[in-house]
């Protein structure tokens, strides 16, 4: 629908142009009229006509002032024609300088006006076609850019760096808004569904849904929790790869936490187990291919240690709050005996056979010897902690002789479990209770909430393994470690937001979040509104947040 606006303070001219000119032959469906510049401006802003025909001189606001006011509107640029007298040439020049297409002299010659309107309509239709083409192109790019990004990312991951193609690659990165990858070091995170082939064999459609779900979880988690640019793609082995900008201290530690959170959320929302290989040492674009290969190697460790875990260049990373206890780790077994119940020990020993199989020993005597050594490591740590074991400490040889009597993994498991239950009974008599551990951890969180706290660092401070601090915390507080720390920080932030002397970014730093944008997103997620909205709801002016 095309509209025309005629502005003239002389009724005869205005209505003559409106009714005598054949507007419908040019596709115009509505002709608007205004008797001065003020009313013309309001009508133009409201109806947005494509063509304006205005007298250059009018009462109150002139046609020239009217057109100058329209020129200030950023998203509106109609075609315009001025009607002038012979003595208005200087005004016509000024009109041309602000974009008026043409002018017609009084008295108006309809044939002359028709030629000008035809030229105007040609320009209007061309502009509309150009706008349509631009929208079409943007729409096509909207679908094409993600695919182009994925292809480029796959190429950089799977092909060694070629210095002769560097300038072209940088240009492609810039055109796809990934130029940060050429300027900043990166962490590389690789996530894959455990037992994906079994899922595919069961149902190819289910495999597609699982892969889609993992990609969604990773993208949303990184958007919410990682305050730096990242790029995400899936490789040809159905693994999701995330490249995370990492140029600030502490971001590698944050990357580990985000990886653990991705595993947990995939468990919760996609209902599958998944493993992550994370190269925590930042790499440059030139070393991206090498980092990709290393992350692939990290993931191969799940064949030995089991899946649903995070693996790094430092081995199995145990900060996942929901991870199962690793029997092969003597420190974790000691905490199991200290803080777990007999039922917890029996449940953990369900993985005993799996652990022994990872040793890849073929002879019975070798297996018995390795089990003996495993128990010895645990008892030695217990002795160093001051625990005197009646079963082991008095006669280690008797333990070995008892193990020698059994020749199946199932029976050996029963004997090993008995030794652990016996040691647990002695251990618990002198160990600090679970509540004492959680109370001390809580004291650290409330004291040092503004620091770069992690499950690992707090666990070390209270002399317990991360996996057991996580379990104890959840049992005692009905919240995960991270949820509890977040609650403390958000409550402190609420207090500070009540004081006008603090700006929002200052509150962010003071409660432990170095990225104010990340803090605002997290605050809204926890509280239901942004920090500024929280202040306004309490009647606090937000000029301090400018």
Is 137 part of a structural domain of the chain? no
Is 467 part of a structural domain of the chain? no
Per residue in 350-371, pLDDT (tens digit) is: 888 888 888 888 888 888 899 9
Q: Are residues 285 and 335 in the same domain?
A: no
Average pLDDT of the chain?
A: 84
Q: Which domain holds residue 403?
A: 330-428
Mean pLDDT of the region 211-222 = 93
Is 474 part of a structural domain of the chain? no
- Give the pLDDT confidence score for residue 313 in this predicted structure: 79
- Give the pLDDT confidence score for residue 210 in this predicted structure: 95
How is residue 322 annotated by DSSP? T
Q: What percent of the chain has pLDDT over 90?
A: 29
Q: What percent of the chain has pLDDT over 70?
A: 90
Mean pLDDT of the region 292-304 = 82
- Give the pLDDT confidence score for residue 546 in this predicted structure: 40
Q: Are residues 183 and 278 in the same domain?
A: yes
Per residue in 374-400, pLDDT (tens digit) is: 888 888 877 776 666 555 545 677 788
Range from 57-61, 179-183, 188-192 carrying the lowest mean pLDDT: 57-61
Q: Are residues 300 and 196 in the same domain?
A: yes
Per residue in 305-332, pLDDT (tens digit) is: 668 888 887 665 544 444 456 787 887 8
* Number of domains composing the chain: 4
Is 139 part of a structural domain of the chain? no
Q: pLDDT at residue 545 above 50?
A: no
389 compared with 341, residue with greater pLDDT: 341
What is the CATH classification number for the domain harbouring 274?
Answer: 3.30.70.270
Q: pLDDT at residue 498 above 70?
A: yes
- Give the pLDDT confidence score for residue 434 in this predicted structure: 61
What is the CATH classification number for the domain harbouring 506?
Answer: 1.10.10.60
Q: Which of 317, 344, 359 is the last residue of a domain?
A: 317
* Contacting residues for 310 by C-beta, under 8 A, at least 6 apart: 256, 259, 260, 263, 275, 276, 278, 316, 317, 319, 320
Strands 2-7 and 274-283 come out as unpaired
What is the CATH classification number for the domain harbouring 37?
Answer: 3.40.50.2300
Q: pLDDT at residue 97 above 90?
A: no
Q: Which of 413, 428, 443 is the last residue of a domain?
A: 428
- Give the pLDDT confidence score for residue 59 in this predicted structure: 80
- Local confidence band at 235 (pLDDT 50, 70, 90 cut-offs): very high
- Give the pLDDT confidence score for residue 209 in this predicted structure: 94
30 is written with which tokens?
Answer: 């509505």
Mean pLDDT of the region 12-19 = 90
* Residue for token pair 């850019």: 145
172 is written with which tokens?
Answer: 């492609």
Is 41 part of a structural domain of the chain? yes
* Residue for token pair 């693994």: 239
Per residue in 118-148, pLDDT (tens digit) is: 999 999 999 888 888 887 776 665 566 778 8
- Give the pLDDT confidence score for residue 319 in this predicted structure: 41
DSSP string, 200-258: HHH-HHHHHHHHHHHHHHHHHHHHHH--S-EEEEE-TTS-EEEEEE--STTHHHHHHHH
Whether residue 463 contacts residue 456, with contact meaning beta carbons closer than 8 Å, is answered with: no
- Give the pLDDT confidence score for residue 320 in this predicted structure: 41
């Amino acid at each position: 629908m095309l509209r025309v606006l005629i502005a003239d303070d002389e009724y005869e001219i205005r209505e003559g142009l409106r009714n005598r000119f054949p507007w419908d032959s040019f596709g115009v469906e509505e002709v608007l009229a205004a008797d001065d510049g003020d009313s013309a401006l309001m009508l133009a802003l409201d109806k947005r006509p494509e063509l304006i025909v205005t007298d250059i001189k009018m009462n109150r606001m002139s046609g020239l002032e009217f057109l100058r006011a329209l020129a200030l509107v950023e998203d509106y640029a109609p075609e315009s024609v001025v009607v002038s007298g012979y003595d208005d040439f200087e005004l016509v020049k000024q009109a041309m300088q602000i974009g008026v297409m043409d002018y017609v002299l009084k008295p108006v010659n309809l044939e002359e006006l028709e030629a000008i309107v035809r030229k105007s309509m040609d320009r209007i239709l061309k502009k509309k076609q150009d706008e349509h083409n631009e929208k079409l192109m943007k729409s096509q790019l909207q679908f094409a850019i993600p695919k182009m990004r994925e292809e480029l990312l796959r190429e950089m991951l799977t092909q060694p760096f070629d210095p002769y193609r560097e300038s072209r690659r940088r240009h492609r990165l810039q055109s796809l808004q990934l130029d940060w990858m050429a300027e900043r070091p990166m962490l590389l995170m690789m996530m894959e569904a455990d037992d994906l082939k079994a899922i595919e064999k069961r149902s190819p459609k289910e495999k597609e849904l699982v892969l889609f779900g993992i990609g969604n979880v990773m993208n949303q988690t990184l958007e919410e929790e990682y305050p730096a640019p990242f790029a995400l793609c899936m490789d040809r082995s159905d693994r999701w790869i995330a490249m995370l900008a990492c140029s600030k201290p502490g971001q590698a530690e944050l990357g580990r936490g985000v990886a653990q959170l991705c595993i947990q959320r995939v468990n919760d929302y996609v209902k599958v187990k998944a493993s992550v290989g994370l190269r925590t040492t930042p790499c440059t674009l030139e070393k991206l291919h090498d980092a990709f290969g290393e992350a692939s190697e990290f993931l191969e460790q799940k064949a030995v240690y089991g899946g649903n875990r995070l693996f790094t260049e430092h081995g199995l990373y145990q900060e996942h709050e929901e991870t199962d206890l690793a029997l092969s780790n003597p420190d974790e077994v000691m905490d199991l005996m200290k803080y777990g119940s007999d039922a917890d020990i029996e449940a953990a020993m369900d993985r005993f056979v799996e652990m022994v199989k990872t040793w890849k020993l073929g002879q019975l005597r070798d297996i018995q010897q390795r089990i003996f050594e495993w128990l010895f490591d645990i008892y030695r740590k217990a002795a160093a902690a001051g625990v005197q074991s009646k079963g082991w400490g008095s006669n280690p040889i008797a333990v070995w002789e008892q193990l020698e009597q059994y020749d199946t993994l199932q029976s050996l498991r029963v004997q090993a479990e008995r030794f652990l239950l016996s040691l647990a009974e002695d251990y618990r008599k002198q160990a600090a209770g679970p509540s004492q551990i959680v109370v001390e951890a809580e004291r650290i969180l409330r004291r040092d909430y503004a620091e770069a706290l992690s499950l690992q660092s707090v666990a070390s401070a209270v002399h317990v393994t991360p996996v057991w601090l996580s379990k104890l915390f959840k049992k005692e507080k009905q919240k995960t470690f991270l949820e509890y720390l977040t609650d403390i920080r958000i409550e402190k932030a609420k207090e500070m937001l009540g004081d006008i002397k603090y700006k929002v970014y200052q509150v962010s730093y003071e409660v432990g979040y170095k990225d104010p944008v990340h803090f605002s997103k997290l605050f809204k997620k926890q509280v239901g509104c942004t920090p500024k909205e929280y202040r306004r709801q309490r009647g606090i002016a937000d000029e301090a947040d400018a």
